[in-house]
């Protein structure tokens, strides 16, 4: 009984953000910045940084173009190691979920399909699309998520009910983050 309870206590349920964790938009952002006449370095492309480099009204347009322009679907990349590590997670039978704030679910699924991630790794059974960061927290509670990976500190701040929060910082720019920083999917594998 005690052992069973311990096993229950150690049970991991993983949650992943999509943009900036599963999908890498760095090159798209650099291209788009050029189109918007902005000089931005690679290290400035994470969402929590880039949004402060232009007026909010411009950033909104930037984001719409980034998310909805079909051209970027092909140009974004899958974060290195994603599929390999997801296969390992599937094998280990640790449950995992995708919880994304993409407003246009169908467009998000199209991108995942294009990159061979849907339905093999993410599908109707484990992918959720929500609106606000608070919704993300709510969904995490509903799914019992114990470990969540996001590329935005501002989002992790809102996941008040998730016990273990990790900042996916593949460019290694958030050195002062209060969250544990993860630079690659290989590092995720070590945690699971
Ligand atoms: Mg993100």
φ and ψ of 95, to 5 deg: -70, 145
Q: Which of 37, 55, 75 is the endpoint of a domain?
A: 75
- pLDDT for position 75: 83
Interval between CA 165 and ligand 1 midpoint (Å): 13
- pLDDT for position 71: 81
Interval between CA 151 and ligand 1 midpoint (Å): 5
Interval between CA 189 and ligand 1 midpoint (Å): 19
Domain range for 9: 2-23+77-191
> Are 86 and 52 within one domain?
no
DSSP letters spanning 59-90:
HHHHHHHHHH-HHHHHHSEEPTTHHHHHHHHH
Interval between CA 141 and ligand 1 midpoint (Å): 19
Output the pTM of the full model. 0.92
What CATH number corresponds to the domain at position 100?
3.40.50.1000
Interval between CA 100 and ligand 1 midpoint (Å): 8
> Are 137 and 49 within one domain?
no
How far, in Å, CA of 175 to CA of 177, rounded? 6
The H or E element containing residue 108 is: helix 105-114
- pLDDT for position 1: 41
CB 46 within 8 A of CB 130: no
> Are 137 and 183 within one domain?
yes
Interval between CA 88 and ligand 1 midpoint (Å): 22
Bridge partners of residue 88, in order along the sequence: none
Interval between CA 185 and ligand 1 midpoint (Å): 15
Bridge partners of residue 166, in order along the sequence: 149, 180
Q: For the chain, what is the domain count? A: 2
Residue 133: helix, strand or coil by DSSP?
Answer: helix
Low-confidence ranges of the chain (pLDDT < 70): 1-9
- pLDDT for position 67: 86
> Are 170 and 99 within one domain?
yes
Interval between CA 1 and ligand 1 midpoint (Å): 40
Query: Residue 192's closest CA among 94, 47, 59, 64?
Result: 94
Q: Which of 14, 46, 75 is the endpoint of a domain?
A: 75
């Amino acid at each position: 009984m005690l052992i069973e309870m311990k096993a229950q206590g150690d049970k991991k349920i993983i949650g992943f953000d999509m943009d900036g964790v599963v999908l890498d938009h760095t090159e798209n952002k650099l291209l788009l910045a050029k189109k918007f006449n902005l000089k931005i370095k690679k290290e400035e492309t994470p969402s929590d940084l880039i949004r402060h480099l232009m007026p909010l009204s411009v950033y909104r347009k930037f984001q719409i173009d980034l998310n909805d322009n079909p051209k970027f679907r092909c140009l974004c990349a899958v974060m290195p190691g994603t599929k390999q590590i997801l296969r390992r997670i599937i094998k280990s039978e640790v449950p995992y979920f995708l919880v994304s704030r993409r407003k246009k679910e169908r467009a998000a699924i199209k991108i995942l399909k294009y990159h061979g991630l849907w339905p093999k790794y993410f599908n109707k059974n484990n992918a959720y699309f929500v609106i606000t960061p608070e919704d993300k927290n709510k969904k995490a509670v509903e799914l019992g998520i114990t470990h969540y990976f996001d590329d935005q500190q501002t989002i992790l701040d809102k996941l008040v009910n998730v016990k273990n929060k990790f900042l996916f910082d593949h460019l290694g720019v958030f050195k002062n983050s209060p969250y544990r920083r993860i630079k690659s999917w290989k590092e995720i594998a070590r945690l699971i």
